[in-house]
Structure 1
Amino acid sequence: MTAEGIIDTSAALRSYYAVLLGGLERYRDGDELLPLLAEDLTFDGPIAGQVSGAGRFAQGVKGFIEAVRQITFIEAVATDDGAAVLYDAALPHASVRFAEFFEFRDGIIKTIRIHYNAADYLAAGGH
């Protein structure tokens, strides 16, 4: 099964990546993203560090949404409790590889841990 197929079996992941690829005009204030996230979401990433709260994450992810042009899924594993997704994100100047790890609670995203090379991300036009 392809990564896209695995993501398609998870409503939370399918909607999450649709929001990330929807552009800032569609994103607005996170109207589509916030219902996918637990209010007490925890996020951990190389640039932002640890962020608590869905609202704070929803504000921080705007930079990625503005910069990303395309996502090519490489591998994904999803269960009812969590998921791991490996993908390349095309940014304005280059592509960067990301690994995201999710924990779900009641069908929504409880935690997100993301791994990527921050220097490569910034050099590729991410912010």
Structure 2
Amino acid sequence: MNTQSNGGPGVVEEDAVPPPEQPLGSRAPRFIKRSRPLHMSWQVGVFVVGLAVVVTGVIMLPLPGPGWLVIFAGMAIWATEFVWAQLVLRWTKRKVTEAAQKALDPRVRRRNIILTTIGVVVIAVALAVYVWKFGFAMPWNVTE
């Protein structure tokens, strides 16, 4: 049963068929693929640029910045030329889609809201106890 949607918000199509995936392989321009040395140079260039972007993303992980987003951008650069990167990106997209669908499940959402509320209450109580006992002093300035 395939349900048609009018494109309105909150409407989910059941049994939606995913768009066909692009074929695996190099997406270099045709004139580059014709010459083996030129194609190898192209691949080396793509690899170096992708590596620079991925390394930048890894550096950004502990620092402020969108580290994971930059890493995935580097993987996307590699995926323009290398089958292994295309397969990794397909797997990642599939897992992200599955996680998003799971997160939209009403029971999972309800559980997450309850757990978040409990966590916020625990943190608020701990903060209230700290302020009651030590006042507004920073932890490194407490002398007790």
TM band (smaller chain) = under 0.3
Higher helix share: 2
Report which of the two structures shows the higher radius of gyration computed on alpha carbons.
2
In proportion to residue count, which structure has more strand?
Answer: 1
Which fold has the larger relative contact order, with Cα–Cα distance below 8 Å and residues 6 or more apart in sequence?
1
With the length of structure 1 as denominator, give the TM-score of the two structures. Answer: 0.21
